[in-house]
Amino acid sequence: MKLPFLLASIALLAGLPVLAAERLVVTAQHDLKVPRPAETITVPWREVAKALPGALLHQLNVRDATGQVLPYQVTNVAPLAQDPKNEGIAYGELIFQHDFAAGEQSVRFTVEKVVGVVPPFPVKAFARYVPERLDDFAWENDRIAHRTYGPALAAPAAPGTAKEVLVTSGLDIWFKRPSYLIVDRWYNKGHDHYHRDEGEGLDMYSVGRSRGAGGSGIWKDGQLYTSRNYARWRVLANGPVRAVFELDYDAWDAGGVQVSETKRFTIDAGQQFYAVESTFTARSAQALPVALGLHKTPAYPNQQPQITTQRAPGLLMQWVKQRDAGDFGAAIVLPGAQGYAEDAMNELILTQAQPGHALRYHLGAMVSWSGEVTTAEAWRAYVQAYRARVAAPVRVLVGAER
């Protein structure tokens, strides 16, 4: 190993020298007594800037109570006009994670300005537009991957061509084995390969024209009205800890009402679930009857699937037992859900959404060969534990220390 690289590695592990005596103290608290692995802590950047004037995203240490330096991320999604001197005041949030142990309900962290440059941390949350596969959009973390479908896939095939055509705003699942990122690798190796497990997992979830694993629609008079494939995309943050992106869906007829939708997706490292905020637009100010769905037949027939659907307050869950590809679960966590329904393709959980106001929910999945969940009962318990985390968010307190 070359000496400069060795010295840089030692500096990163130990934390770079602190620039000044000022520190920002961050205390994270919650009310549960159970473990909360990979809990994401977010600190508004205005609090960092207030305690550490002139702080920049590449010159920080974040330490836990033992002094260990933690990976972190700083978002920067504000318009340039808000930061004309490029001083970092447009940063959004400082983001890092902590594994809360059982009974650990309050933890203290420190944020410091340092001398030198902190190298990038390994990326564990990632999203991208995939033009090479008919405008797919894919996202993943170190646990699981997903994708959905864009305008090129919905476009009619030219006469005499064999182009695939699929009109759907359903959401797909890719079950991965490694913790490293696989989206680029799988698209590179090709469609037929990522539908087989060649050591890294596989795409064994069937979407078709259904809602897939959590797609949305308008439920009116016993009928589900859904959009076409997404029309536009924006990546707002892209790791290492959190990826955030938005997809726009052009207006569609929802039983006589024109409705459009923007979805904001937030996926964090270490989690089986990710958050979605759907904002609907309609001419009427009346609340819209929204349905989120799980495909009734999400496994391929050759796997002879046995599908169990479970409903609980604010939850819709499935467990799929298969012949030999591995069993898997999918779930929707929808606080304030108002009922359930179904159509020919989908199990549905229902709520109301006010136009112009974000409807927040959580989507997740897990495969049995992960070793964490292997039965429908265990999946139900896992999802209920996650719902408890959603209902008891972490509180973040900040203050300067001199």
List, for residues 121-143, the tens digit of each pLDDT value. Answer: 999 999 999 999 999 999 999 99
C-alpha distances out from residue 108 to 67, 75, 94, 379, 390, Å: 10, 22, 15, 32, 21
List, for residues 59-68, the tens digit of each pLDDT value. Answer: 999 999 999 9
The DSSP output letter for 212 is: B
- pLDDT of residue 82 exceeding 70, the answer is no
- pLDDT of residue 9 exceeding 90, the answer is no
Residues belonging to the chain: 402
Tell me which amino acid residue 337 is: A
Cβ-based neighbours of 218, under 8 Å, separated by 6 or more: 224, 225, 226, 254, 255, 257, 259, 288, 289, 290, 291
Give the whole-angstrom CA distance, residue 289 versus residue 160: 42
Q: Kindly state the average pLDDT of the residues 275-295.
A: 96
Predicted local confidence at residue 185, as pLDDT: 97
Residue 87: band (very low, low, confident or very high) from pLDDT cuts 50, 70, 90: low
Give the whole-angstrom CA distance, residue 348 versus residue 170: 13
**Number of separate helices (H) and strands (E) present in the chain:** 6, 25
Strands (E), 254-358: 258-268, 273-282, 288-295, 306-312, 315-321, 328-333, 339-342, 346-353
Q: In 3-state terms, what secondary structure has residue 24?
A: strand
List, for residues 336-376, the tens digit of each pLDDT value. Answer: 999 999 999 999 999 999 999 999 999 999 999 999 999 99
Element (DSSP H or E) covering residue 137 = strand 136-141
Q: Which of 7-16, 161-170, 236-245 has the highest mean pLDDT?
A: 236-245
- pLDDT of residue 32 exceeding 60, the answer is yes
Q: In 3-state terms, what secondary structure has residue 77?
A: coil
pTM > 0.85: yes
Q: Residue ranges of the alpha helices (H) in 133-216? A: 151-154, 183-189, 191-194
Give the whole-angstrom CA distance, residue 86 versus residue 76: 11
List, for residues 142-191, the tens digit of each pLDDT value. Answer: 999 999 999 999 999 888 787 789 999 999 999 999 999 999 999 999 98
Structure tokens at 99: 């594994």
> Residue 262's closest CA among 166, 348, 353, 336?
353
- pLDDT of residue 74 exceeding 50, the answer is yes
> Residue 358's closest CA among 382, 332, 336?
336
Residue 285: band (very low, low, confident or very high) from pLDDT cuts 50, 70, 90: confident
Predicted local confidence at residue 363, as pLDDT: 98
Predicted local confidence at residue 8, as pLDDT: 39
Predicted local confidence at residue 164, as pLDDT: 86
Pair 137, 148: CB distance under 8 Å: yes
Give the whole-angstrom CA distance, residue 336 versus residue 152: 36
Structure tokens at 380: 């139900």
- pLDDT of residue 5 exceeding 50, the answer is no
C-alpha distances out from residue 334 to 308, 387, 390, Å: 19, 9, 10
Residue 24: band (very low, low, confident or very high) from pLDDT cuts 50, 70, 90: very high
Residue 219: band (very low, low, confident or very high) from pLDDT cuts 50, 70, 90: very high
Pair 229, 154: CB distance under 8 Å: yes
Place of tokens 């439920």: 219
Question: To the nearest whole number, what is the mean pLDDT of the chain?
Answer: 91
